[in-house]
Structure 1
Amino acid sequence: MAINGDNSKLPKIKLDRLLYTQYQHQNLESAHKFFTDFGFHVAAREDNIIYYRGFGENPFIYVAEQSPDKSKHFAGSGFVVREREDLETASKRPGASKIEQSTAPGRGSYVDIKDPRGNNIRLLHGLTFREKEEQKKEIPKPVIFNTWEDKPRKGEFQRFDDGPSKVHKLGHYGVVVDHSVFDETVSWYLDTFSLAKTDSLYDHESGRDTMTFLHIDKGEEFTDHHSFFVQSPPAPVKGTHAHHSSFEVDNMDTQLLGHYHLQKKGWTNCWGVGRHLLGSQIFDYWFDPSGNIVEHYSDGDLVNSGTEYGREIAAPDTIAVWGPNVTLAFLTTRIEDIGKEPKPHHAGGDGAVAA
């Protein structure tokens, strides 16, 4: 049920935050072992579906579901909208569901719509968020840094526990589409939701954008550098698929501790640890056992309506400021490409990069 037609004349759906992504896994129990090591907590579990949360207020941030066949699937995402009126607006769009009651953690009401590529987007309102007292039991102690000039930590020591990273929330996700529908897809998201462009990468030969980062537009209020992105590699893409889902952790120390924890558990690192240029976040990408890419990140940028839109050539120095060389597996999103080096055109100006 793809949505077609001109959305620009319809009222925009005002988003409050990105809430979750949902994937279908060939082996749900194997996925559960990984995401426990990744740092998720179980919010609720049914026979063939597990809802995971972080230490923040969101009732859940990731949904793992048993695949109905022998393949993995990206099952969509969920955003919280600002007002009940936004659900009513969404329900009037072509192909949208009617307003339904959610049975997921936090409950509330929702409307499902699909983007032009068939990706499901669930819009929720009226959720019950986690109580402050419950969060306080899990919120990690802040890390206080002594710099060369300012040394606020006196008589106290830095001590950390081994184990998974401390995951806070879902920060962003993105989809990969064919270059022939890239502009159309970006325009649909901008016309449908209160999203705005933050940065784009473009191919130096054609001058065409190959990747665009979108943030939730709240005017002067600062929001994450991007909550969503659209990417188009040079090779033809059949249909669409998710590139990765990215989860914010509390700080770089537990991010690195989590990196080594996942490594000790035998999971497959995709790319990292390093720091991106666009978004500035410290990144660490992993493959889950189904072959999907998920990211831990910390120290990301914030933007608002006063932030100038940026446009950069897709090149190695627009991928990372420091860290290991970009891997072929990250560019192709294929776990079978682990250990293979990208060809020069992959890491150069083709836009096959994601942050």
Structure 2
Amino acid sequence: MNTLNQTSLFLRAAWGEDTPQAPIWLMRQAGRYLPEYRAIKARASFWEMVRTPELAAEVTLQPLRRFPLDAAILFSDIMTPLPAMGVHIDFSPGPVVAEPLRTQAQIDALRLPEAQEIAPYVAQAIRLVRRELTGKPAALIGFGGAPLTLATYLVQGSGSKDYEDFRAFLRQEPTLAHRLLERLTELSIRYLRMQVEAGAQAIQLFDSWAGLHDLEAYRTFGLPYNQAVLSALTDLNVPRIYLAVGAAHLYPALAQLSCEAVSVDWRMSLAQVRPFFPAHTLQGNLDPAILLAPPAIITQEAHKVLLAGRGGPHIFNLGHGVIRTTPPEHVAHLVEVVQQFNRHTEEPA
């Protein structure tokens, strides 16, 4: 276990300690449900917010000023490192790739930038956030997109329900697919190492669309590249978290990954998930829609997650991101409920 920052409940749990209280942070905790975020968004585009270190740091810290969360996650996007490869990306509102990559010439033309070239504003934002968090127990999480998920957007070109063009591409052009995934893997390694060297204390690898694939396809196009990314971070001595959404059918493969924590969605109880990952910390997995319900329901459902998370280390989170219509006071209530719950006595503290 890392001997540093052991005042951080989040880091203790991420390294595998079965803590009496579950640390809590929420995916998309910095976002459109907060009025202070919307105030910044009214005067700056998404890319301007991401690419301006002072704005990215401010948005990262906004939820921690409202709620006593155990971790901050850097405000950015999984697509952030891709422009350094020569890919033009807009947000409308989700990512849109101007020219989807489907030919050998396009893939061979991708640059492989050095770490310091990829997104220097991200490193600057991390340093600003760490400065603000000095002496405080909250840890800072950096993140990136898994190669398979980045490739999903690059080939499909924009958001899709089933990403059928990408799934067909994997079968029709497996050699090109592997060439693209190899380049994205090296990009991801450089980008994530840069974040840790700038001060990120943990890394989460988002494989948002892994669940689209069957187990054989994931073992071919996902697992080896995720393993390469995660293994390349081993020497940095930070906990590594892997997230795949809608991926319960992939758990036999995910259990092989070199990571300390696995973040799971809301579709299975943590008690059902735990046997697949006996050596990992589990992160999750309240249904984000529960935060739209009254406080009594939030309490009831949060307790179910906390009880199901016993039997090993647990970081409380949602099964996916905060929904933009979530009332901030409901988030405050959830944080209080989680922090008052003693996992070892199985009752509120």
Q: Same fold (TM over 0.5)?
A: no
TM-score by length of 1: 0.30
Q: Greater helix share, 1 or 2? A: 2
TM-score by length of 2: 0.31
Q: Greater strand share, 1 or 2? A: 1
Q: Which has the higher contact order (CA 8 A, sep 6+)?
A: 2
